[in-house]
Structure 1
Amino acid sequence: MFSAPARRAVRTALAACVLLILGLTSAPAVADPIGDSPTAKLEHLADLSRRSEQANEALHQAGIDLDARIAEQHELDARAAADHDTLAAAQVEVARFKPTVDKLAQANYRGSRTNRLFAVMVSDSPQQLLDQMVMLDVLGAQTDREIEGFRRATDAAAAAASASRKSAEAARVAAEQAQALRDDLQRQETELESQIAAVLDAFDNLSDEEKSILAGTPFPPGLDADRIMEHLIPGNGAGALRAALTRIGDPYVWGATGPDQFDCSGLVVWAYQQVGKTVPRSSQAQAQGGTPVSRDNLQPGDVIIFYNDASHVGIYAGDGNIVHASTFGVPVKVQAMDSFPFHSARRY
């Protein structure tokens, strides 16, 4: 599954890569932007790839959002069920006290006399009076308890009914929102599939030489994996960087998380999995996790996010370089981080 920011990220990343490889600072003016010149074709592919990467990463984020909403829906469903059970129990308690309360109401309606003055008036002897007084005390205390119990049960039932209505409504809204996210996810998947088809068609239109130019070299001049790992500081970041460097040359594939093909955030996920650490699936979510790191304090293994929509990501390799799954047609490689507009950095 792929997101909309991912598609755009792929295009921009590829465009930057192409311009960097070709040593161009601006594209030559052409009447037809999808012309037959190598430059025009590469730029067209770069544009398509950038959009597909943005869409890809946005799709990952949409999946994360949907999972969170489904979890919320399940929690609200459980709460609604519990509130319904509480209401049912409260109603049973009300029913338990109701017969006594009804009898009292009927007795008062009929004018029954159960006070001490009435006992004095109808007693034939002191002993009968005492007996009636004791009975009235017992009945009075029992009645008070029954009435108080009925009041508490009625209040509890009213509160439970209100809570049950609210939780049921919240669960209904969450279910509707989850369905809306599902629908949007399906729409984004369809759009990405269309964009991927366009990228593949444009790539097939390249010559072998143009594909080679697009792919570039796995490392900047004078740099290799051994040199990068010489000065690594032990830790999660260093371990993730070591893992990522073992994937140099693997292809970029939308939605892939390894072990031998990746998209940009998928490479970060896989690399950190190798050191037992879980990071979010999308570049946007990766930009929110971990601990913020300033550009001046980067360490090898830090996660670097690019573009204002946080739609591309790589792992800092030191000396101003990143290892990343760049874009379609460009294998996993080490490249200068200045090739892309810096967004932020996180340490996991």
Structure 2
Amino acid sequence: MAAHRSQTRAVASTFAAVLVAVTLYSSGPAGADPVALPATPGDAVQQMIDLSRQSEQLNQQALDAEADLDAKLGAQHDADVKHGSAQAQLDAARAEVRRYQPMIDRTAIAAYQGARTNRLFAVLVSDSPQQLLDQMSTLDVMSAQTQEQLDKFRHVTDVASAAETEARSAADSARAAADKADAVRADLRHKQDDLSGAVSRVIEAWGKLSATDRAGLAGSPFPPGFDRDTLLQGLVPGSGTSALAAGLTRVGDPYVWGATGPSQFDCSGLVQWAFKQVGKNVPRTSSAQASYGTPVKKEDLQPGDVVFFYPEISHVGIYAGNGLMLHASTFGVPVAVAPMSSTPYHSARRY
């Protein structure tokens, strides 16, 4: 189980770098259609933006699938541990049954062969009142001991039966958890394949842009009039504003699918990294980050709040005041401060 989880995390940590390295020298996955040539430079840039948007969606979906797999592997581990414990209890209960079984067998055989252990038999075979009392006392002791043994046997068999039921249920749960993990693992591989193809098409489109178009796509790191020092006045340690301050130190770093820093990021990786610098461990994906912290109305946004975009919440940034956000936008566009109005707004949270 630990090996499965470590393998998953290792794949996740290297996936983006491998994707970029491979697709830089590839025209796309086998069978994939090449990117059609745009008619104008403006069309080329728009094509790049559209393809990048698709790749960003797939990137977040793959990250969600990875997180789901990690949760399923955790559930499988817990189910395996429970099954192991239940099986150990069953083995111990069966051992107790075996310990009492010879005594029960002897009692059953004696009864079958006609052993006389009741008081009437003592009266019939006694030669004197004292002998009668002695025999009745002995029979009482034997009866009490036999009954005690029988009671213990019934108890251990009941325990064994309950343990067997628990072990069977735990085994079923472990198998179900393993099946779910396998299904999510297959889904993750499928999404990673889709992302690989999308990345290839993005890089192909980017390669067809002129140097001027690439520079125009990248834009400037800060909008005109952006005043970082004024924005960060009254900084409170551990606050969203302090996370924003940390994130602003990464302006100019490249966007890379699946990257979480410290010098390259995707959108949710930048948010996670920025808040980690101020001691807050937020979830990895944009959809999970949208459930963290507390909701904030758009009109109540403050610098350091986390803002989400698109209906499926496939993009995220950190609010930087005056309708601006810090974000890792897309391939070919470094981490920058940009207007929020350029992206369909969804919601916001305060961490």
Q: Per the shorter chain, which TM-score range? A: 0.7 to 0.9
Of 46, 65, 68, the residue aligned with 2:68 is 65
Task: Give me the whole-angstrom Cα distance separating, in 1, the residues matched to 2:218 and 2:316.
Answer: 18
Any runs of at least 4 consecutive aligned residues in structure 1 with deviations exceeding 4 A, and if so which? Answer: 231-234
Task: Give me the whole-angstrom Cα distance separating, in 2, the residues matched to 1:302 and 1:127.
Answer: 96
Native 8 Å contact 1:253 1:261 kept in 2: yes
Task: Give me the whole-angstrom Cα distance separating, in 2, the residues matched to 1:250 and 1:36.
Answer: 31
CA shift at 1:160, angstroms?
Answer: 0.8
Other-structure match for 2:197: 194
Report SS of the residue matched to 2:263: coil
Q: Structure 1 residue 285 and structure 2 residue 283: aligned? A: no
Report SS of the residue matched to 1:90: helix
Task: Give me the whole-angstrom Cα distance separating, in 2, the residues matched to 1:138 and 1:290.
Answer: 70
Superposition map of 1:1-348 within 5 A: 34-230=37-233, 232-348=235-351
**In the alignment, residue 76 of structure 1 is paired with which amino acid?**
A
- CA distances 1:141-178 after superposition (whole Å, capped 9, x unpaired): 11111111111111111111111111111111211221
Query: In percent, how many aligned pairs have the same letter?
Result: 53
CA shift at 1:33, angstroms?
Answer: 7.7
CA shift at 1:341, angstroms?
Answer: 1.7
TM value normalised by structure 1: 0.88
- CA distances 1:182-231 after superposition (whole Å, capped 9, x unpaired): 22212211221111111011111111111121111222221132232135
CA shift at 1:232, angstroms?
Answer: 4.2
**In the alignment, residue 302 of structure 1 is paired with which amino acid?**
D
Task: Give me the whole-angstrom Cα distance separating, in 1, the residues matched to 2:169 and 2:347.
Answer: 41
- CA distances 1:284-305 after superposition (whole Å, capped 9, x unpaired): 1111222222223322212111
Task: Give me the whole-angstrom Cα distance separating, in 2, the residues matched to 1:44 and 1:290.
Answer: 36
CA shift at 1:266, angstroms?
Answer: 0.6
Q: Give the aligned length.
A: 320
Task: Give me the whole-angstrom Cα distance separating, in 2, the residues matched to 1:231 and 1:331.
Answer: 28
Unmatched 5+ stretches in structure 2: 1-10, 17-34
Task: Give me the whole-angstrom Cα distance separating, in 2, the residues matched to 1:246 and 1:318.
Answer: 17
Native 8 Å contact 1:33 1:40 kept in 2: no
Report SS of the residue matched to 1:61: helix
CA shift at 1:131, angstroms?
Answer: 1.2
**In the alignment, residue 136 of structure 2 is paired with which amino acid?**
M
Unmatched 5+ stretches in structure 1: 7-31
